Structure 1
Amino acid sequence: MRVLGFLVLALCSLAAWALNDGEKDCEMCLTNQFAKCSGSECKCTLKLDQDVTQPVDCKKLTPKCWMMKNEMYRKKNNIGTRRKPTEHAMLDNDGIYDPDCENDGKFHAKQCNGTDTCWCVNTAGVRRTDKGDKNIQCSELVHTFWFQVQLRHKPMDKAIDEDKLKDAIKKMFSGYMVDSGYIEKVEYFEDDRYIIVDLKQNLTVSSPTDLATATYYLEKDIKGKSLFSNTYNRSVQDDGMPYDGTKLTFEQAYVYYIDSKNPEFSMKGMTPGIIAVVVVVCLAVVAGLIVLFFARRKAAKSHIYQKAEGRELDEIQKQQLTT
């Protein structure tokens, strides 16, 4: 009996050692530092909620919706240590929320962030309507087909060569698995140190990642909060993007989203700044109409025009209002 007990204990110890050893030998998920890889087959999963894990493919970038959900899970559970950001890191204004995701990682058209307040989003997960209650109707997930990335770099000791810059930008996006066929235009504004990259969906190009996810990963890298593991050979490191034998470091990064359908914001949902612009435009139109009225009146008195058509002023007003 003692021998049998010893054998059972030895087998259990061996099984436990093999299991632990198998987990220890699993490599990190290169494209997602928050994924955990374990088991004899080293399958990698991402924590989306307390009792929800999502299998991920570490040969691809993890969809933006899952990454946002994982970030909210870590925030709510105080997982991860805070560190002082790098000197060029910026405040994260990504508008993070806890999204509802489809089984394939796409965003649900309707998002509520776990509350009774809901809104509609595009395929990039960006809000495109006013916020309402749970009865708000989001009939479709509107497609975001155009991404405009605006990057502002720090001053350089030498002038920027635009051709070399464009090549560096293409190499940078290849690190985020974006085919160069998606890059429609790269513009450089020397005075402001701005680089503007237009990325558009192209049905003739096959890419292993979607543009919403790629630009999300890029933003995180520039802000010093990379989603990649430390061993992933990404283009944008803490000290900048490789360019002509040196590094181009960014101090600002913005991503603008253009959908296949216009957003549905009401005047009530506009910010004071936007409302102010609308008021200024309206005042300018009114002022223009007043000037036009007195100019025509003066012209009529001096007999420059014999007679104005009754509909002419109406048409001019319509044109000015539409512009």
Structure 2
Amino acid sequence: MKILIALVLSVLAVGASACTCNSMKWATCDGTPCACSVLIGENNPQKLDCTKLIPKCFLMKAEMYRAKKGLSTRTGIGGKPVETAFVDNDGIYDPECENDGKFKAKQCNNTEECWCVNSAGVRRTDKGDKNLKCEKLVETMWVRIQLKHKEVKDKMDEAGLKTAIADAINARYGFKKDLVKEVQYDPKARLIVVDVKKEKGDRVNDLTQMAYYMEKDVC
């Protein structure tokens, strides 16, 4: 399964300095003790806890800032979701974040038009004006990830796909392997569909962070 793990598991390079942020390649780190931050706006550094995955809301703000500055960003792989899924059809936007990195339930993208989002920052309501009420942030319990691999000479070991993907997600993002519930593979399309689910009431595992990191890791 080396081919699959090479596809799914992107190892971030560690520099010579001991003061680095392995979970955010755009971070600036310095000082003793080491402190890291990432720019999410002009002269607006966001402090980071590099012992954990950086919250998706901070990542999106950093990506939006870099896009505005013409700096490099990495885009994810799209695909056709199930009909009942919340779909990020609006693309990347400049979100409002809570202090802990969670998305605010109402987003306006610095405009007069607003909408409600789930914990992944994906719009779940029609758009309205700034009087729109979003009572709470709806937790994302199920993430479907679609991957497409390059052409390979050797036949893919379909029977081992689930184990290999679960191992890679555990090693790279620290999530338990049993969160990977189902893996489907279409060899003709070279398409791998991964369903990652958590139990209702689980506030420990944030699937949205894992999914966003995976988008950026997979080429």
The TM-score bracket by the shorter chain reads 0.7 to 0.9
How far does residue 77 in structure 1 lie from its aligned partner after superposition? 3.3
- Alignment correspondent of 2:168: 172
Q: Cα–Cα, structure 1 residues 26 and 153, in superposed 2: closer, same or farther, change >3 Å?
A: closer
**Retained in 2: the 8 A contact 1:26–1:38?**
no
Q: How does 1:133-144 map to 2 (within 5 A)?
A: 133-144=129-140
Partner SS, residue 143 of structure 2: strand
Give the superposition deviation at 1:153.
Answer: 2.1
Q: What's the counterpart of residue 195 of structure 1?
A: 192
| Residue in 2 that maps onto 1:7 | none
Summarize deviations over 1:251-285 as a string: whole Å, max 9, x none: xxxxxxxxxxxxxxxxxxxxxxxxxxxxxxxxxxx
Q: Percent identity?
A: 46
SS at match of 1:49: coil
Counterpart among 29, 36, 43 of residue 21 in structure 2 = 29
Q: Is the contact made by 1:179 and 1:206 (CA closer than 8 Å) also made in structure 2? A: no
- Whether contact under 8 Å (1:118, 1:131) holds in the other structure is yes
Note the residue ranges of structure 1 that are not aligned, 5 or more in a row.
1-23, 224-323
- The aligned counterpart of 1:44 is 36
Structure 1: distance between partners of 2:63 and 2:155: 39
Deviations 1:9-66 (Å, cap 9, x if unpaired)?
xxxxxxxxxxxxxxx9552211111111112211112222224322212121100000
Distance of 2:177 and 2:29 partners within structure 1: 31
- The TM-score with structure 1 as length reference comes to 0.54
Tell me the distance in 2 between the aligned counterparts of 1:81 and 1:146. Answer: 30
Query: 1:288 corresponds to which residue?
Result: none
Question: 1:48-93 CA deviation, whole Å, 9 max, x = no partner?
Answer: 2224322212121100000101111222334x358xx9xxx869x8
Given residue 129 of structure 1, which amino acid in structure 2 is its aligned partner? T
1:124 corresponds to which of 112, 120, 129: 120
**Which of the residues 151, 156, 166 maps onto 2:147?**
151
Task: Indicate conservation of the 8 Å contact 2:27/2:38, yes or no.
Answer: yes
Counterpart mapping for 1:280-299 below 5 A = none
Q: Which moved more, 1:53-62 or 1:98-107?
A: 53-62
Offset at 1:111? 0.3
Q: Report the 3-state secondary structure (helix = DSSP H, G, I; strand = E; otherwise coil) of the residue aligned with 2:121.
A: coil
5 Å matches for 1:308-319? none
Aligned partner of 1:160 in structure 2 is 156
Following the alignment from structure 2 to structure 1, what is the Cα–Cα distance between the partners of residues 213 and 121? 14
Looking at structure 2, the residues matched to 150 and 164 of structure 1 have their Cα atoms a distance apart, in angstroms, of: 17
The match for 2:52 among 45, 60, 71 is 60
* 81 and 143 in structure 1: CA distance in 2 versus 1, 3 angstrom threshold: closer
1:119·1:136 contact (CA, 8 Å) conserved in 2? yes
Contact 2:158 2:185 survives alignment (8 Å) = yes
TM-score by length of 2: 0.77
Equivalent residues, number? 192
Instruction: Indicate conservation of the 8 Å contact 1:122/1:141, yes or no.
Output: yes
Preserved contact between residue 26 and residue 37 of structure 1 (Cα < 8 Å): no
Higher relative CO (Cα under 8 Å, sequence separation at least 6) belongs to 2
* Partner of residue 268, structure 1: none
Q: Summarize the Cα distance change of 1:113–1:190 in structure 2 as closer, same or farther, 3 Å threshold.
A: same
- What secondary structure, in the 3-state scheme, does the structure 2 residue paired with 1:55 have? strand
Question: SS where residue 169 of structure 1 aligns?
Answer: helix
Query: Which residue number in structure 2 is paired with residue 282 of structure 1?
Result: none
SS in 1 for 2:195: strand
RMSD of Structure 2 on Structure 1 (CA): 2.7
Would you say the 8 A contact 1:181–1:205 is kept in 2?
no
Bigger proportion of residues as helix: 1
Query: Of residues 175, 179, 186 in structure 2, which corresponds to 1:182?
Result: 179
Q: Specify the SS of the correspondent of 1:45.
A: strand
Distance in 2, matches of 1:52 and 1:121, equals 24
